[in-house]
Chain A
Amino acid sequence: MNAKILTKENLLSFVQNLIKTGEVVGVTKKDGKFAFDHLKRASDLVLDYDVTLLPPKKYVMPQRETLIKFNVKPEVKVEAVVEATPFTLIGVHPYDLKAINQLDRLFEENHVDTNYMKRREQATIIAVTPTRASKWSFWSSMNSIFVETGFDLLLTDIGGRYAVEIGTAHGDELLKKHAKFEEAAPADIEKLESIRSALPKMCSADRKINALTHEMTAILEIHRKSELWEKRAEKCYSCGSCNLICPTCYCFDVKEEIDLNLKDGSRYRVWDGCLLEDFAKIGSGENFREKRADRFRHRFFRKWSYLAAKLTEPACVGCGRCSSVCLPDIADPVKVINELKEEK
């Protein structure tokens, strides 16, 4: 293992240098919790957070993204829009990075989604090893503790100092250009390794899915007709909260807006959620997933079966956000899969 060492002070000035040279987003405090936000100064950055309200996905797949611009008068004109400018994303946890890696594959496969890919190319990602887990997280069960790719740099707090692992040549260059660092000593590497080996135990013991990831898919398939779906969905608000906070959800709706001059306008996509009542409704009024239970089940099957077939792993990274935002407490994958497993 190879790593550089940044003192806390040097990390701060590294971040400050990045802020001076471009757009930087990082984890900040918000209302007693944490959120990725535009970073005004390095001292606002929080690296010992548990989980952010929304995943950093919002920077590679914005909530609202313009796809085309058009004029309807005096003659119809249309142009493609790709909104992509360079930015640095600091403080991404491995599970959220794993989700971004999955999105990269899904937006690239078959038809390359230029809007996503171009923006993604502009992102410099500085990941950070978690120092604590939220009480809902179950990333240990989803193999999302460690990521090998997707980051330019990976920071780990080794007790007052940060070990920096280099993921890309761009990350290396950035570090050399903007940071004062030392080579890691053998003792630093030892510390780093011991921190990494303790990570699987960071999620609390009751946040464990009692199956390996590929077994989870099988459990769902066997219990497709289980009463659990209906029973849990009885309490479902169809509010889509579980979709909208999810780092791997990428369904979108496409909307249109025309200016008040009634001449110029744009078409844009916005986040959507398969739990929302009208998600599968067509113009004639037919709704192909009208029942709450069907929508509720679809989310699980999409993540553990349909997308898992494409990705060769479930499209869930165990961040626990869906479990934490669901007021009736029905959306938690840990409980759902463990309960299904116990069913005959």
Chain B
Amino acid sequence: MTKPKVAFFDFASCEGDQLQIANLEEKLLELLEHVEVVSFREVMKEHSDDYDIAFIEGSCTREADEARLKKIRSNAKIVVAIGACATIAGINALKNTRPLDQVRKEVYGDNAKWYETYAARPIDAVITVDFKLHGCPIRGDEFLALCKALLTGQKFVVPDYPVCAECKLAENVCVFEKGMTCVGPVTRAGCGACCVTQGAVCWGCRGLVDDPNKNAHKEVLDKYGLKAEEVMNKFNLYFAYQGGPK
């Protein structure tokens, strides 16, 4: 059996998800027993357009990205969006909540007119995506689980329940009890509630669950003293593309 050929691509992002993969080190070598990497800017110089599986990191933020995405789609049998920027437009979508001209000026100053930009979108807004690997950044072990599913001809399944479930399993003290707030109750699990476990809060990087109870959470955030604007900010950090509270 020939090894499936794998390629990595990046759009508007920090390339942190590919870094997570590069950081797998010896596990990555084990994976290379089963796949051939033909393009991976972070670890190799070579590039080829002959690949079966394309991993795409980053958001689509300008018209020029669309043609490149469509070319990847036509080359690949399987397209996987990796990381929040690719799956839910990530923090790139923060700019979508403000006038684009203003955003462009803030970033590029006098040179703004030279830089093309439009509202940030996840990859599946442009091309069909077969699987999504959520998170900011993605988890190395989840990447491996996805690879194993693909290699054994299975569908890769991501949890469709809130982070709270995994936070309970991690035996964390709820951040709301510690005088903080988070969006874990509406955020898709799969991260093992790693941020709360480390003493932080859930920011929502894996995006909303399929049927989030946003109204209930708005009420809870209100009960815990957040102002309407603060609630909006909480929701917009990662959910700006998927939609904030109604």
Please measure, in the bound complex, the distance between the C-alpha atom of A244 and the C-alpha atom of B217, giving whole angstroms: 20
**B174 touches which of A63, A235, A236, A327 (Cβ 8 Å):** A327
CB < 8 Å: which of B33, B145, B213 contacts A236?
B213
Interface assignment of B185: CB less than 8 Å from any CB of chain A: yes
Residue among A35, A292, A325 having the largest count of chain B Cβ atoms under 10 Å: A325
Confirm or deny: B164 has a beta carbon within 8 angstroms of a beta carbon on chain A: yes
Chain A residues near B172: list those with CB within 8 A. 31, 53
B34 close to A328 (CB less than 8 A): no
Given the known A-B contacts A258-B148, A260-B148, A262-B148, are A327 and B220 also in contact in the complex, defined by CB atoms under 8 Å?
yes
* Pairwise interchain contact A327-B144, C-beta atoms closer than 8 A: no
0 or 1 for each of B149-177: is its CB under 8 Å from A? (1 = yes) = 00110000000111011011101111010
- Does the CB pair B174–A260 fall under 8 Å? no
Total interface residues on A, CB under 8 Å, equals: 32
Contact A262 B219 (CB under 8 A): no
Question: Interface centre among B33, B165, B220, by most A CB within 10 Å?
Answer: B165
| Beyond A238-B161, A238-B211, A328-B220, 14 additional pairs, beta carbon < 8 A | A31-B173, A53-B173, A237-B162, A237-B216, A239-B165, A241-B164, A241-B165, A241-B167, A241-B168, A257-B145, A260-B31, A327-B164, A327-B185, A328-B219
The reply to whether A262 and B160 contact each other, CB–CB distance below 8 Å, is: no
Q: How many Å lie between the Cα of A244 and that of B162 in the bound state? A: 13
Residue from B30, B173, B217 in contact with A32 in the complex, judged by beta carbons closer than 8 Å: B173
Is B70 in contact with chain A by the CB < 8 A criterion? Answer: no
Tell me how far the C-beta of B191 lies from the nearest C-beta in chain A, rounded to whole angstroms: 14
CB <8 Å contact, B161 and A53: no
Residues in chain B near residue A241, CB distance under 8 A: 164-165, 167-168
Residues of chain B at interface, number, CB under 8 A: 34
Q: Does the CB pair B161–A30 fall under 8 Å? A: no
| Interface flags, B179-191, vs A, CB<8A=1, else 0 | 0000001100000
A261 interfacial contact with B, CB 8 Å: yes
A240-283 contact mask (Cβ, 8 Å, vs B): 1 or 0: 11001100000000000110111000000001010011100000
Is A185's CB within 8 Å of the partner chain B?
A: no
19 contacts between A and B (CB under 8 A): A31-B173, A53-B172, A54-B171, A63-B169, A237-B164, A237-B217, A239-B162, A240-B161, A240-B168, A241-B165, A262-B148, A262-B152, A271-B169, A276-B161, A277-B161, A277-B209, A325-B174, A327-B174, A328-B216
Cα A262 to Cα B210 in complex, Å, equals: 31
- B-side contacts of A240, CB under 8 Å: 161, 164-165, 168
Q: In the assembled complex, how far is the CB of residue A266 from the closest CB belonging to chain B, in whole angstroms?
A: 13
Instruction: Check: B3 CB closer than 8 A to any chain A CB.
Output: no
B105 cross-chain contacts in A, Cβ below 8 A: none
A234 an interface residue at 8 Å Cβ cutoff?
yes
Chain B nearest Cβ from A237, distance in angstroms: 4
Give chain A residues whose Cβ lies under 8 Å from the Cβ of B160: 277-278
Please give the distance in Å from B204's CB to the nearest CB on chain A. Answer: 14
Complex contacts, B220 vs chain A, CB 8 Å: 327-328
Main secondary structure of the interface of B (DSSP, over half): helix
B41 within 8 A of A: no
Q: Mark B194-223, 1 if CB is under 8 A from A, else 0.
A: 000000000000000111010011011000
B77 within 8 A of A: no
Q: How far apart sit A271 and B27, CA to CA, in the bound complex (Å)?
A: 28
Question: Of A33, A53, A235, A261, which one neighbours B30 at CB under 8 angstroms?
Answer: A261
For A236, the chain B residues whose CB sits under 8 A away are: 213, 216
Contact A30 B148 (CB under 8 A): no
Given A273-B165, A276-B161, answer yes or no on A239-B216 (Cβ-Cβ < 8 Å): no
Question: How far is the CB of B198 from the nearest CB of chain A, in Å?
Answer: 12
Shortest CB distance B115–A (Å): 41
B139 to chain A, nearest CB (A): 15
B124 to chain A, nearest CB (A): 20
Instruction: Choose from A261, A292, A325 the contact partner of B168 (Cβ within 8 Å).
Output: A325
From A53, A235, A238, A258, residue with most partner B Cβ within 10 Å? A238
Cα–Cα distance between A257 and B171 once the two chains are bound (Å): 24
Least CB distance from B186 to A in Å reads: 7
Q: Do B216 and A276 have beta carbons less than 8 Å apart?
A: no
B164 & A53 in contact (Cβ 8 Å cutoff) = no
Contacts of B178 in A (CB 8 A): 31-32
Closest CB of chain A to B165's CB: distance in Å? 5
Once the chains bind, are A30 and B173 in contact (CB under 8 Å)?
A: yes
Q: How far is the CA of A240 from the CA of B209 in the complex (A)?
A: 13
**Most B-side CB within 10 Å, residue of A235, A258, A327:** A327
